[in-house]
Structure 1
Amino acid sequence: MEFILYLVLILFLTKIAGDISVRLGQPSVLGKLIIGIILGPAVLGWVNHNEFIYYFSEIGVLLLMFLAGLETDLEQLKKNWKSAFAVAVLGIILPLIGGFGIGELFGLGTTYSLFIGVLLSATSVSITVQVLKDMKKLNSPEGSTILGAAVVDDVLVVVLLAVMISFLGTGEDISIGLLVGKKILFFIGVFLAGIFLVPFLMKSLSKLKVTEPVVSIALVICFVFVYFADWLGMAGIIGAFAAGLAISQTEFKHKVESKIEPIAYAVFVPVFFVSIGLNVSFDGIGNQILFIVALSILAVLSKLLGGALGAKFTGFSSRSSFIIGAGMVSRGEVALIIAATGLQEALLLPEYFTSVIIVIIVTTLIAPPMLKYLIQGELKKSN
C-alpha cells in the first residue's frame, strides 16, 4: 500500500505548497513543482518514481491538455496560425544553433552537440497552460499562439530527432517520408473525426441509461485520440488537446469540462506536477556545474527570444511577443522523453544525462514566474 502513502503526501503537500506560492506572488504550479523536488531523491527521498507515479502523472498531463483543448477558442486559434508557425520555427532554430554551440564549446563532439540542440528545441506547454488558465489568458491571442506553436514544435522536433536517429543513432533506419506521412495522417484523422465522428458519438451515446454517459464517452474519445497520436509518433498531449478541441465544438462542452476538471485537479494533475520534480538528482554533477549553468541560460534565452521574434515578425506588440516567448520556455515532459531516447540511441553521453535533466527542470521552474510577471506587466499597462 506504499502508493496510498505517496498519494496522501502528494495531494496534501501540493495544495499547501501551491497556496504558499500564491501568497508569495508566484503561480501555484511553481510550489507544486518545488514540492516534487523536496519529496524526491534530490532532498528527502520520501517519494520515488515508480509505476504508480508514472501512470497517474501520464493521466494527469493528458487531462490537463484535454481541458486546455476544451477551453480553447478555435476561431482564435485559426486566426493566429501564422504567428504560431513563426514562433515554432524560430523557437527551434535559435535553441538548435545555441545548443550545438554549447556542446562544441564543452568538447562534446559534433553528434552529441547536435543532439543537445535538438533537445533544447523541444517545448512542453502543459505547465504553461496552468499559468495561462490561472491568469485567464488561455483564450487570448497570446495563449492561442502558444498552443498552436506547441503543436507545430512537436511535429518539427520529432522529425529532427528521427533524422538524427536514422543517420547517427544505433537503431534501425527511419524513413523520413513515412514519418512525415504519419504526421499528416494524424492531422487528417483528427480533423475528420472532430467534424463527423465526435459530435455523432457524443450525441448518440449521451442517451445511454447509465451514470455519467457524457463524461465517460468524452474520456473515451480523449484516450482514443491520445493512442492514435502515440501510434503515429506524435506526443500524446497533442492528441488529448485535439480531443478537447473537438468536444468544445459540441453542446456538451461545459458539462464535460465541469465534470472532468474536479477529477483532474483533485488527483491526477498534482501527481504530474510532482513527477517533474522527482526527476531531479544531484548525484555526480560536481564537475558539470558550469555546463549546467551555461546550458540553462541558453535554454531559457533561446526559446524566449526565438518565440518573441516569431511573434513580433507576425504583428504582436513587444510585450505580447515576450509573453509568447516565455510560454515556450518550459521543456517539461516532452524534453524528458527526448533525453531518454537520446540516451538509448547513444546520441547523449550517459555522464551528461543527469545534467541535461536538471536543465530541463530549470526551464520548467523558471517558465511559470516569468510568464506571470510578463502577463501582470501587460495587465498593468492596459489599465
Structure 2
Amino acid sequence: MPASRLLLSPPALAGGELDSLRATLESGWVAPAGPAPAAFEAALAEVTGFPSVLATTSGTAALHLGYRVLGVAPGDEVWAPTLTFVATVAPAVQMGAVPRFLDATGPGGTLDPGLLAEELARAARRGRLPRAVVPVDLYGQCCDLDGIVAACEPWGVPVLSDSAAAMGSRGRGGQHAGRGARLAAFSFNGNKIVTTGGGGALAGDDPALIARARALAGQAREPAAHYQHETTGYAYGLSSVLAAVGLAQLPSLAERVARRRAIFAAYAEGLGDLPGLSFLAEPNWGRSNRWLSVVLIEPAAFGADREAVRRALDAAGVETRPAWKPLHLQPAFRDAPLVGGEVAAVLFERGLCLPSGSAMTAADQARVIEVVRSCARR
C-alpha cells in the first residue's frame, strides 16, 4: 500500500479542542463576542508581551486594520521586503497605496536595516517617505526589528510587523516576534504553528490604536441605541467558536516550537553533508519557531535544481513548496518600485520548503531525507 501523502504543514490538534468547543457552544456564544474571544486575546497578550491585542478573522484582516489605523491613504507608499506572501501588501494596495519592494539581504532572507536606512534617507531627500514600513518574519525567522525600528524612527515612519508565521519566535533580547513595532499582525491559519482554522490578531503597545482597530473590526458602529456610523468598517472580529480552538492550542505553543526546531535539526543532520545544499540561516540573536524548514539548492554543486527535487518529492507523495516568489516578479506588481531584488530572486530559484508539521514522525522525515539525498550527485 503506498504511503499517505505527507503534507507541508497540516493542522496539529492539541487534544483539548473538543472540550473547549463544547463549553463555548453550551454557553450560547458563537459570534465575535462573549468570553472566548476576550480570553483568547488575553492569552495572546500574555504569550507575546503586547498589552493590547485584537483577535481577527485572519492575519490579512489584521494587516488591513493596521494599515487603516496608521492612516494609509491612496497614493501613499508602503515599503516591504519583496520576499514575502502577497498578503503583506495586498490590503494596502487595495486601499490605493503604492508598494515599494526592498531586497532580502538581512538574516534569513529578511529585510536588512542598513538597506532600509539608506533608502529612507534617499526618500527624505526626494520628499516621499513611506506611510509605513512592513518587515516580515520569514518562515518564522524574526527580522532584525530593533534595527528596522531604529532606521525608521528619525523619519517618524511607523513599523507594522508582519509576524504572521512567527508565533512563538524570539528576536533580540528574547522579545517575542513583533515586539518593538508600532503594531504587529499574526496569523492562525490552518497551516500555522498555532491554528484556529482561520484567524489572526493585531497587537500593539498603544491601546488607543487597538481600540480604533476594534471599532473598525465591528463595522465601525458608534455607541448608540440605533446603528450609527461616522465611517465604514469591516466584519473582522474572530468568532467565539474559533477563539475556543485557539484557547486550546496556545498552551502547547512552547512544545510546538520545540518540535519544529527538532524537525529542522534532523533535516540539518540528515542533509547537511550534501554539497550544494544549505539552509536559511538563523542569527545568533534570535530563535525562530522554524514554522517551515527551508533548504537552498545550488544546482551545479548539488547535481539537481530545486524544481527537480520538488518533482521527485511530489512523485514520492511528499508536498513541498518553492520559497516565496518575490513580489516584484509577480505580474500584479510589475510596475512597483524596487530596490535590488537579486538576492530574493536567487532565494526563490533555489529555496524549497520541506514538510515541517508539528505532528511529523521520524519515519515521515526519514522519507523526505531519503528522496532529497537520492537527487544529489553521487
Normalised-by-shorter TM-score class: under 0.3
Greater fraction of residues in helix: 1
What's the TM-score once normalised by structure 1's chain length? 0.26
Over alpha carbons, which structure has the higher Rg?
2
Structure having greater relative contact order (Cα 8 Å, sep ≥ 6): 1
What's the TM-score once normalised by structure 2's chain length? 0.27
Greater fraction of residues in strand: 2
